[in-house]
Amino acid sequence: MVSKQNTLPILNNILFEAKKSGLSLSATNLEIGVQTKIGAKVEKEGKITIPARIISNFSNNLPAGENISLELSGQSLKIKSGTVKAVIKGLLADDFPLIPKKKTEPLFNIGSLELKIVISRALTSVAYNEARQELTGVNIILDQGYLFFASTDSFRLTENKLALNKINVNKENYEIFAKKNNNLIIPSATLTEISRLISGDIDAPVKITIEDGQIFFELESIIIVSQLINGKYPEYQHIMPKEYKTRIVGEKNLFQSAVKMASVFASGKTGEITLKIDAEAKKILVSSMSQDTGENSTELNFDITGPSQEVVLNSKYLLEGINTISTSKLALLANSEATPLALREINEQTGEVLNDYTYIVMPIKN
């Protein structure tokens, strides 16, 4: 995590700091800071900042299995690994910005693999228009029974809720903090960095601490600190229907393929496709039409309860929602052509519609 702007050249650098306890590396763009520690035999303490691009490209090409020797020489870092040597010019470490350190204990721990899924879902509907900065982040609500992660760009909305009894919570600190401030906004860029750091197959606890307008994530030897977005997130829960008149359950892959094909023939910038839900025939027709490309329709035999419906949706938004569903079957929930359509997962064993994750997409009103 280094700055992409050149207003402060040192922000393009990584801080190398050798202490008796080992070697620590730090980087920041003034909004997000990253620190990690590496086991090393330190003969002499010292620190310097080195351009991230150069050290990254150089280290990626070093021979595997060789020890690396680092030596500070004035404003340069001498590196030796096997038969490879390099001298990289750096900048004085005294000018490197201080990265905040947490003062309190973590509020809760979340398994890294579960957090990666939650982040992936939340980032799907984050807004990238900075005119409303609060929508560029992910809203976290610290509730008594659940931890909510939500995001919206006004066209679609995701909500993921984690039961507190299923994660490791510091109950006393959590309750004290939640009474003061239970509604926070984390920048999407921060969560993107967290997701990148999480390995795809190793589950480890991520310790999360919140204090003084900042949030800290600890994953093994890595600490990420980020500023929180200062603002009020929209009261999104009032647009989420409490009940749905029509429920459609079917194979995710079949519905996904039908929407993909319909999107090819969808017209206009909104990529309009139509879902015609026939409750009596237990069929759903996914169709689209364009004067330029032609037309397409796919008929699916799904389990349908409730009245027939017809709704027009943005194919891109609907498809991105389908992609976040991790179960083999999904549920479509609808009330009318003018109200939001919801996607939810299905319990593979019981067939129950799960409500811990909801993806909402707004209809296109013709």
For the segment 258-298, what is each residue's pLDDT rounded down to a tens digit?
Answer: 999 999 999 777 899 999 999 999 999 999 998 888 999 99
Quick check: pTM over 0.85?
yes
**Phi, then psi, of 78 in degrees rounded to 5:** -90, 130
Provide the residue range defining the domain that includes 61: 9-95
Q: Is residue 102 part of a domain?
A: no
Domain annotation covers residue 366: no
Number of domains in the chain: 3
184 is a domain residue? yes
Predicted pLDDT of residue 212: 85
Residue 14 has pLDDT above 80, yes or no: yes
**Does the structure show a pLDDT above 70 at 2?**
no
* One domain, residues 261 and 284: yes
Q: Based on the domain organization, do 260 and 322 belong to the same domain? A: yes
For 28-40, what is each residue's pLDDT tens digit? 999 999 999 998 9
Same structural domain, 341 and 247: yes
In a domain, 3, yes or no: no
Residue 101 lies in a domain: no
| 26 phi and psi angles, rounded to 5 deg | -135, 145
Is 4 contained in some domain? no
Q: For residue 171, what are its two tokens? A: 């109950």
Q: What is d(CA 148, CA 163) in angstroms, rounded to the nearest whole number? A: 9
Q: Which residues contact 106 (CB under 8 A, 6 or more apart)?
A: 170, 207, 208, 209, 216, 218
Last residue of a domain, one of 211, 237, 263: 237
Q: What is the mean pLDDT of the chain?
A: 93
Q: Indicate the helix (H) or strand (E) that contains 55.
A: helix 52-59
Phi/psi for 62 (5° steps) reads -75, 150
Q: 61 and 147, same structural domain?
A: no
Among residues 68, 95, 122, which one ends one of the domains?
95
Residues 233, 245: one domain?
A: no
Q: Are residues 258 and 304 in the same domain?
A: yes
Dihedral (C-alpha) 172, 175, 180, 185: value to the nearest 10 degrees? 110
Q: What pLDDT is stored for residue 129 in this prediction? A: 78
Phi (first) and psi of residue 354, to 5 degrees: -85, 145
Residues 200 and 285 reside in one and the same domain:
no
Which of 212, 237, 262 terminates a domain? The answer is 237
Q: Indicate left, alpha or beta for 294 from its phi (over 0: left) and psi (-120 to 50: alpha).
A: left
- 279 and 228 inside one domain: no
Same domain, 69 and 159: no
- Whether residues 88 and 112 share a domain: the answer is no
* CATH number of 177's domain: 3.10.150.10
Confidence band of 150 (pLDDT split at 50, 70, 90): very high
Place of tokens 């009474």: 179
- Domain assignment present for 1: no
- Could you give the CA distance from residue 47 to residue 42 in angstroms, rounded to a whole number? 12
Q: Tens digits of per-residue pLDDT, 44-82?
A: 999 999 999 999 999 999 888 889 999 999 999 999 998
- Cα(136)–Cα(216) distance, rounded to whole angstroms? 19
Q: Are residues 58 and 42 in the same domain?
A: yes
Question: Does residue 2 lie within any of the structural domains?
Answer: no
Compute the Cα dihedral for 294, 323, 240, 131 and give only its sign.
negative
| The two structure tokens encoding residue 165 | 């009894």
Residues 118, 59 within the same domain: no
